[in-house]
Structure 1
């Protein structure tokens, strides 16, 4: 009897620790008192890749040039190891190898992207490439034959070069080109694909591609072209969503979902200044999420006010932030069934009265300075620090700001040199899974988690110098062998048990 009393007292102590720490770094406390933590039965687990990063076959079977083909060929000096993805992991020829390891993991779904220039070499329906459609038919069919749900991203950085030649994301006609492309995908694959993501990380291709000129198409127009890119992305997304709901949702059994994937950090204030935290979040997540997921619609007020005031101070006749008409606000508001979220890291921020960036620029408009905590563990990537409590905070922010919309974590991962014994990656994934469980405990509507990435691949301007894969790929071998890392076994156990063990 005495033993039973002691057990009850210890259990009550555990519950007290969990409740009292929910507002802070609760994932560590809960982990210390539980052997494992269970995810909801319907929670989904998967992995993610993108076409340009893994496929290879850059000029085969009628595929057209993407801006990343052109960029890496013409400017190898801008890639860390002067490499490209002409071959890479060669998934175009070796998808069966990928399928084998997806099955090995026990994944519920596989998130991959379709290469727009592979199915429409010029970006236009007049250039329809049946060989490209067949490749993705085979991918989707093989996944379904093995009870793996395909999650399809329509655009993941690799814009057809021909569309960039006529202005790319800054051309208003881009909206119609994308809608036309989306309709082709709905028509051809919609009977089998339930989860659609229109765009992956607009902030991360608009700002470096049209603002800083570090990504293709190398346009240096910070504060102008990058804002136009974001505006056209949001509108094109809404058009593609409305098209699906109007013509294909009922046709395909009312089970399909269309969303957009947004990348975001969470921001902390060392002085607990909620206003600066909100400012930072609106200038990052809110820029894209507020028009789609908020009740009010349109851009966040802080963006409208700051960019408008700065534009007038620069002697301009109108704001550099495009104006949304009421018709566009209404079309965009509510144009998603879920929010795809890519989370990697967080920062501390503070308000800057007199920013030092170029005029105009996002830096001068946002007026925030970001720093890291030296105690945070850094990955191989210089920008990536492990801050799991930031994910809990971010999910809570989304819950409060956007009526607890369904969130699917579409990317989360840790970079290193590609070693097979990748304990740091395991710890990162485990900590972030616990952070998600904390958010679920607090009522956040999180339904899926996706590791970036299934395999080592071409990491954009970092080439192959940084590796994110659960599986190592021998890039120097003609067979491109996929070799399981220690993290693959860990993730397999997570999926199988639907829980996070307290042990590595």
Structure 2
């Protein structure tokens, strides 16, 4: 008994000496506690009796509540009529047509930005197995969602038992990205980007995807009918600037498309948030060798060409065009999506952090925007395999620092890159004191896509040996990543390859982010692909996605607990994704809360969509006006 007590005291001291909310294994005995039973203890012996029987069970039902059209529209900057004076007077706006490999050659060859030059971009890109076999070729007029589609499914027997509410300003919405939903890749003047040539043997293409480019009004109509408040999407750089670089013409069709998308979102009572670059780098930054996109990279998984010497200035130019046109109606901006994953080397990181800081200053100091701006990062939160083992804790800190502090040290705290990055990437570009002063506070929040968690420990030979050996199988994170705990159990229910339901780790993660970077936390993507969903025999089976509901409701419950029990400022949560889409080479990974029937482009609401929206609405004190 004495030894057991000493063990508990030792664990308690250890907890107090380390970061709050750390995952620690503490042995317990006896039945699981049931605090909800304290006020209703039944008698020790039941009383049995007969009664007359009849089928009198009552089942309640309700409909999803649509977002109401707004009475007024809030603005966050001056309108384009005013902000256009900030753009170069020489900036031209033009139109182009569409492209296919069988097109007759255009004759305006003397124009460096004419139809012939634009078509030659696509000929050079040579997208593999190119097709334009979509159903639509113009914007589809929306139709109201029938009430028969909006009846909530039967509630699960076991559900959340919390009594918390979200803060009145908590942001809740859904997200998607241009390359994954739009299709129409070589239509109405859009230039080629990395995602348009991503297809290769065995990899599905994104030429059609969900045809959201033509169906965006219907998609927005369906989101509003479900009661979604925020719609987060990305803009395709190559649809705005087909030739990518400063001084090249703006595509008027692209500007008009996103302008109408934003206006329709607002008209349906929702609020838009925008990502400027979601992996779809224009191909011009690959210079003469477009196959560089497949070369081995030092840091990420794909070469996003951020290291190109012209990238930083070009991105800032593109961002200024977006801000001039749309910042009056968009309250939240994300410059980059998960840039670490598409960074080649140290120069890539340098381009991203400096480009972001310049755009943020332009938005705040020149545009005078009153909204918020940041960069959204990836990180399947690293937790130590054994939190009582100092080397495992060091591995977890190293893993998270490399992915998060590399960006948020300079952009949030005004501090230098972490040692985890500097010791691993020998060609990193040092930041001066002036750089850090300029960058500090240019992220209004820390935005992260926390799909799951990863159990980490030291690699063979330790971190120090790994970081100097780029051929190590553990490089560049230089930790062992696992999905099971010290007792051999997976840390959660597994779905598609790497995603596990890990709600308790989410709360730990939120504590880590808030207490490390001291800025509001924004969950900008979180989602769950049900295992084997693509193999289900019918739509009826696909839409009954209880594991996804468990994922969303458990995660949102932990968000509430982090807010109220830990004092963590969680700004909002955007669910990924509002519909099944192209997951960067795969249509079988179903992250969506709607089924998309590819042959007809028909959408069907899944159970999880109803469950998630109802969970938030039932706990949001001011949902309609949030």
Q: Under a length normalisation based on structure 1, what TM-score does the superposition of the two structures give?
A: 0.81
CA offsets per residue over residues 356-403 of structure 1, 9 Å max, x none? 799326834543111112333344421111211221111111111112
- Cα distance, 1:24–1:270 mapped onto 2, change above 3 Å: closer
- Cα distance, 1:413–1:493 mapped onto 2, change above 3 Å: same
Matched residues, number: 436
Aligned-pair distance for 1:320?
Answer: 2.3
CA offsets per residue over residues 113-148 of structure 1, 9 Å max, x none? 000000111212413100000000010000111221
Aligned equivalents of 1:93 and 1:181: distance in 2? 24
Secondary structure of the 1:237 match is helix
1:291: which partner in 2? 410
1:213: which partner in 2? none
Matches of residues 255-404 of structure 1 in structure 2 within 5 Å? 255-272=370-387, 273=390, 274-295=393-414, 297-304=415-422, 306-307=423-424, 319-354=426-461, 359-360=469-470, 363-364=474-475, 366-373=477-484, 374-403=489-518
Match of 2:308 among 168, 171, 181: 171
Q: Runs of 5+ in structure 2 lacking a partner?
A: 1-15, 26-31, 38-160, 293-304, 535-541, 622-626
Aligned equivalents of 2:216 and 2:33: distance in 1? 42
Match of 1:436 among 543, 555, 559: 559
Secondary structure of the 1:495 match is helix
- Cα distance, 1:456–1:320 mapped onto 2, change above 3 Å: same
Aligned equivalents of 1:485 and 1:31: distance in 2? 33
Aligned-pair distance for 1:293?
Answer: 1.7
Aligned-pair distance for 1:436?
Answer: 1.0
Aligned equivalents of 2:399 and 2:455: distance in 1? 10
Aligned equivalents of 1:171 and 1:22: distance in 2? 41
- Cα distance, 1:156–1:31 mapped onto 2, change above 3 Å: farther
Q: Under a length normalisation based on structure 2, what TM-score does the superposition of the two structures give?
A: 0.66
Query: Which structure has the highest helix share of the two?
Result: 1
Could you say which structure has the greater relative contact order, defined with CA pairs below 8 angstroms and 6 or more residues apart? Answer: 1
1:51: which partner in 2? 178
- Cα distance, 1:151–1:161 mapped onto 2, change above 3 Å: same
Deviates more, 1:484-493 or 1:323-332: 323-332
- Cα distance, 1:148–1:243 mapped onto 2, change above 3 Å: same
CA contact (8 A) 2:382 2:453 kept: yes
Aligned-pair distance for 1:94?
Answer: 0.4
Secondary structure of the 1:307 match is coil
- Cα distance, 1:465–1:29 mapped onto 2, change above 3 Å: farther
- Cα distance, 1:204–1:431 mapped onto 2, change above 3 Å: same
Structure 1 residue 242 corresponds to structure 2 residue 357: no
- The structure with more radius of gyration: 2
Secondary structure of the 1:472 match is strand
Secondary structure of the 2:320 match is helix
Structure 1 residue 411 corresponds to structure 2 residue 525: yes
Please give the root-mean-square deviation of Cα atoms over the aligned residues, in Å: 2.6
CA contact (8 A) 1:53 1:460 kept: yes
CA contact (8 A) 1:67 1:164 kept: no
Match of 2:338 among 201, 213, 216: 201
2:266: which partner in 1? 144
CA contact (8 A) 2:514 2:521 kept: no
Structure 1 residue 108 corresponds to structure 2 residue 229: yes
Aligned equivalents of 1:30 and 1:22: distance in 2? 22
1:65: which partner in 2? 192
Aligned-pair distance for 1:204?
Answer: 2.0
1:485: which partner in 2? 606
